[in-house]
Structure formats: structure tokens, C-alpha cells
Amino acid sequence: MPVPRRFDRRPPERDTTRINERIRVPEVRLIDENGEQVGVMRTQDALNHAQTRDLDLVEVAPEAKPPVCRVLDYSKYKYEQAQKIKHAKKHQQQIVVREIKFRPKIAEHDYETKKGHVERFLRHKDKVKVTIMFRGREVTHPERGVMILDRLAGDLEELCQVDQRPIQDGRNMTMLLAPSKAVLADALEEHHDDDVDLDSLEDRDPGDAEETAAAPAPKPEPVARQIQSDAEKENIVVTDDGTIVGTEDEPLGALPPPPKKKKPAAKKKPAAEKPAEKEPAPEAETAPADG
């Protein structure tokens, strides 16, 4: 049975920026293509000013009175705005909170394993919520949970800072750890290096790549031309079809044609055997007539 297709029926996002004839207000405050303020003028005059320069009249501050419009290339303006949003999202820090759970009677091996997980989360610039889970009468000894949390914070003091001290919440005790300034600084340097590499690739002239590209290998000369050039070095006379005639001093004449290959003799078919001649049937003897 075919599965019904799900179509996205959401309408596409519409560009709400008003440009050119979509600006319906009577007057606008105009900024020319050089960024200088021209002043308040009629919208039609501002549109004519932009069209004579093969540019667009773009409304950049619709809430102002009168609205502020700029003369610019709208397609280039949209591209620059999209790039700004892209870079802003790239540098925006997203906070992720991880959680690791311990028991008051945790073994040493399990403690080291969970501490490794906390260290990995901190190196990825994530916050870590450490929870001590008490069961039964273990809740009457909260100092065991505090001891484990303080030990963990001391072991990872170079990677973390304590955002929230251990607090009791019912049968659980929690502590919040955040990456230290050293970890965040290293992460920013890595992002900066990546941005520099990307910017250098984007700004690179495509002509440079063509210049540095390996030159194509020269095409091999035809065999006849190669023979002709080699013959000229040794004063050998060669015809256009590649036949060696001789040297200029001692012409040899045309070389004899190569011997023709003999075709293999066809095998004789055995003669068909003639059918044996039938012997004539003996004539019947006639009885002599009675006299």
C-alpha cells in the first residue's frame, strides 16, 4: 500500500522590505549611495534619483517619521544582511546542560569513569549538573554527598568553576559546574582560526588558482613528424608518407616494398565417392517355340 506523501503547506516567507514602487508614503528622508543625507523630499523624486543611477530605493527605517530610505543595490544589500546573520549565529554561544548521577556509595572505578564524562562535557563548553541520589536511610547522611561533590570540583578545578554550590532537593543533592575561562578562551581561539581560514578562502582570487594549477602536458607529436625531425638531424631524406629514400649525399632510392605474406593453401576437400554402378539385370531366356 503506497504511503501518502506529506506536503509542507506553509506559505513561503515573504520579503516585507519595501522598495521602489512599494513605498507608498508621500515623503521620505533620503540617504544617497555615498551614505550622505540628502534630506526630506517627495517619494517620486527620491525614486527618480535612484533610477537614474541604476539603483534601488530601499526603506531602511519604516517606523521613522518620515521613513528613512537609502539608495543602494538591493540584491547586494540582501546578501550582506544574510552574511551578517550567518556570522552572528556562528558566534552565538548555545548553552547546553548535561547531567551526571552519582550514588553516595559509589566505587572508585565508577567515580573515575563518571569524572571522565564530566571532563569531556566541560571541554565541549557544556555546563554539567552533578546529582547525588540517596535511597532509603542514606538521606540521613548528606555529608557523604557533599564530600563526593567537593572532591569532584577539586579534581576538575582547572576545567570548571562552581556555578551552584551543593544543595539538598528532597532525596537528591545537586551541584552545577560551568566551563572555566581557560576552556572558553581556547574555544574562542579555535573559532577565530577557523574564521580566518574561511575568510582567506573566500577572498582568494580565482585567477590565482588558475596560475598555480599544473600546466597541461604537451601533446605527443605524430609519428610521421617525429620521423621527419629525426631525419633532418642526420640528413636523411624522407618522403611525405614516411618512406626513407636515403641521405642527401647517397640517395638509396625507394626501399622495396615489404614481402607479401603467403596465404595458407586451402585444404583440398576429399572427393565424394561415386555411387557404385548397378549391374544390368540378366535377360530372361525365352523358350523355343514348338514347330
Q: SS3 string of 19-87? A: EHHHCCCCEEEEECCCCCEEEEEEHHHHHHHHHCCCCEEEEEECCCCCCEEEEECHHHHHHHHHHHHHH
- Domain hosting residue 149, numbered range: 97-184
Q: What is the pLDDT of residue 89?
A: 79
Q: What is the pLDDT of residue 95?
A: 78
- Does residue 133 lie in a domain region? yes
- C-beta separation of 237 from 248 below 8 A: yes
**Which sign does the torsion angle of CA 134, 137, 140, 143 carry?**
negative
User: How many domains is the chain partitioned into structurally?
Assistant: 2
Could you tell me the CA-to-CA distances from 36 to 1, 26, 69, 71 in Å, in that order?
66, 21, 12, 10
Q: Which residues of the chain have pLDDT under 70?
A: 1-12, 93, 187-291
The rounded distance, in Å, linking the Cα atoms of 186 and 198 is 19
- Does residue 79 lie in a domain region? no
Q: How confident is the model over 46-67, as pLDDT tens digits?
A: 999 999 999 999 999 999 989 9
The CATH number of the domain where 128 resides is what?
Answer: 3.30.110.10
The rounded distance, in Å, linking the Cα atoms of 197 and 276 is 102
- Does residue 195 lie in a domain region? no
- Where b means 16+ CB within 10 Å and e means fewer, 55-79 reads bbbbbeeeeeeebbbbbbebeebee
Regarding pTM above 0.85, the answer is no
Q: What is the pLDDT of residue 87?
A: 85
Residues 108 and 176 in one domain: yes
- Does residue 249 lie in a domain region? no
Q: What is the pLDDT of residue 272?
A: 54
